[in-house]
Amino acid sequence: MPDGPFELPTCPELANAARDCSDRAPTVFEVDDAATLEQSAAMACPGDEIRVAAGTYGARLRVAPGVRVTGEGAASTRIIGPDGDPACAASESTIQGLTLEGSGTVLLLDGVTNVSISATDLAARAGIGLWTRDSAGLVLEDIHITGGLDASAAQSLRAPLDMERVPFAGLLSQRGAASLRAVEITGFAAYGAAFAASNVTWAGGGIAQILVAGVLSEGSRTALSDVTISGGLSATDATLALMQAGLAVIGGSTATLSDVTVAEVPGVGVLSDTSMLGATGLTVSRSGRAGLWFQRGVAGVEGAPALGLESVTVEEPTGIAVRCLECLDLSITDATISAIRPVVGVGDDLQREVTSDGLQFVDFGGFVSLTRVTVGSAERVSLLLDRANAAGTGSATFAEVSLEPAANGLGLVSQSVSVDATGLQRTAEVTARDDAFAESGAVLQVDRSVFSLPPPPNVDAEGSP
């Protein structure tokens, strides 16, 4: 989240003071030039409407409490504000059917309630498209927020990003509550949308061409449904590249995802750090690093997992499909992992040059529950259970889990973990050895773990063929 150095934008006090608003019927202001637009905005009272004709206006937009501003459509009515001087709207106001363009911050909602913005485009040459602070009851519907950052311009950017000189973020919400429907955000350097200490629901729409993070949720409650995050921009700067993610849920956030797709992002598909995340119908495809990355988990609430995933597809991740580091209480049900793209590197315990892993659980506590999970084509390890936490409380339970490693890959590698593997589907004999790792082609490798194992293939419970 931006913390300087830059000057925070402000809005003037938007009171209906230029005209006596008592004892008069609502008024409709017809506007066809910039001067009339600013004059009408200064005079309007609650219940009034300002109708802005098609055209381009160089004007400061100030929407007073209870006032409605309507254009003839975002493609026809365009208001260009002075650089560094955002458009502002007060409580109970409405903006509909126009384009707002600016640099710095295009539209600022500061300490307001019940503002509605619909069928409107926000074009940010630099800075932030829509910035909301300490505001609640905001409704955004059929909104397009564009920054114009493309692949060529992204290649030249270096950390730290200067938010006053580049399209920084499409939507920034701090300490607020908002409902988003059919919102599209494209072409920003830092974030498509960033939520800090906010409560946000977002249904329909998507984010594309973002350099660092498509969606960032920090200390917030965020619910996304039918949202697509795609086409992230590549970074040549090493610092920016390490920060890249389609969706990042951090800092004690709680996120709920329903039918969310993350595709073609150069970094991690979905990152969760010290947060709770639940997802149904999540698809992550062709991520430049891991598909899903969870770390420093929090304990679940009333028996529910801190990380709960259902109906999940991870396709063509790079290196690792799902990694869980120091997690607590994770459940994955009805998941398919396929076509893991290998990445070359050395220096881990497996002593192999190529990383191509399905599921990794490292230094975890609480429980890991896998139900109806298929992991295919891992060239190194399909499922790695590597050390429960220091308290030794990590355990794993499988039901209808199928591990289908590549020809030279391992199915399951487990170290110092209590495992109930009765639901594990295997394609070869179980191998249990004292060595740290099995030879190529083994499906199960056990090292200092407690296992409950199913009978080998084609052998009944009594051991008879």
Contact 380, 350 (CB under 8 A): yes
Cβ pair 403, 426 in contact under 8 A:
yes
Least confident of 65-79, 219-233, 370-384: 370-384
The residue with greater pLDDT, 118 or 460, is: 118
Tell me the pLDDT of the chain averaged across its residues.
Answer: 84
Task: Give CA separation, 411 vs 47, 144, 350, 407, 408, in Å.
Answer: 67, 46, 13, 10, 10
Q: Could you say which DSSP state residue 159 is in?
A: S
Size of the chain in residues:
465
* pLDDT per position as a tens digit, 141-199: 999 999 999 888 888 898 888 877 889 999 999 999 999 999 999 999 999 999 999 99
Cis peptide before 5 (omega within 30 of 0): yes
* Residue 423 DSSP label: T
More confident site: 5 or 42: 42
Closest CA to 290 of 252, 343, 237, 332: 343
Rounded Cα gap, residues 37 and 34, in angstroms: 5
Task: Say which residue, 104 or 420, is predicted with more confidence.
Answer: 104
Q: Which pLDDT belongs to residue 425? A: 67
**pLDDT beyond 60 at 461:** no
State residue 440's pLDDT score.
Answer: 39
Would you say residue 465 lies in a domain? yes
In a domain, 203, yes or no: no
Residue pointed to by tokens 């350099």: 211
User: pLDDT band for position 457 (50/70/90)?
Assistant: very low
| 339 lies in some domain | yes
Band (pLDDT 50/70/90 cuts) for residue 450 is: low
Higher pLDDT, 381 or 109: 109
- Answer yes or no: is 363 within a domain: yes
Q: Tokens 């485009």 appear where?
A: 121
The tokens of 123 are what?
A: 């074009």
Within 8 A by CB and 6+ apart from 146, the residues are 121, 122, 123, 124, 129, 170, 185, 186, 187
Q: Is residue 430 part of a domain?
A: yes
DSSP assignment of 40-85:
HHHH--TT-EEEE-SEEEE---EE-TT-EEE-S-TTTEEEEPPTT-
Residue-wise pLDDT for 278-287, tens only, equals 999 999 999 9
**Residue 449 belongs to what domain range?**
307-465
Cα(56)–Cα(246) distance, integer angstroms: 35
Mean per-residue pLDDT, 262-281: 94
pTM: 0.89
Is 333 within a domain? Answer: yes
Whether residue 312 lies inside any domain: the answer is yes
Q: How many CB atoms lie within 10 A of CB 346?
A: 10
| Residue 376 buriedness (CB in 10 A; 0-12 / 13-18 / 19+) | middle
The Cα 80–Cα 128 span in angstroms is 15
Give residue 454's pLDDT band: very low, low, confident or very high (50, 70, 90): low
How many domains does the structure of the chain reveal? 1
237 or 258, which is more confident: 258
Q: What is the pLDDT of residue 317?
A: 93
Angle of CA points 43, 10, 106, to nearest 5°: 80
Q: Domain for residue 293, yes or no?
A: no
Higher pLDDT, 443 or 411: 411
pLDDT (0 to 100) of residue 55: 97
Structure tokens that stand for 192 in this block: 């498509």
Distance, in Å, from the CA atom of 230 to the CA atom of 266, rounded to the nearest integer, reads: 10
**Contact yes or no for 360/340 (Cβ under 8 A):** no
Q: Per-residue confidence at 431, pLDDT binned at 50, 70, 90?
A: very low
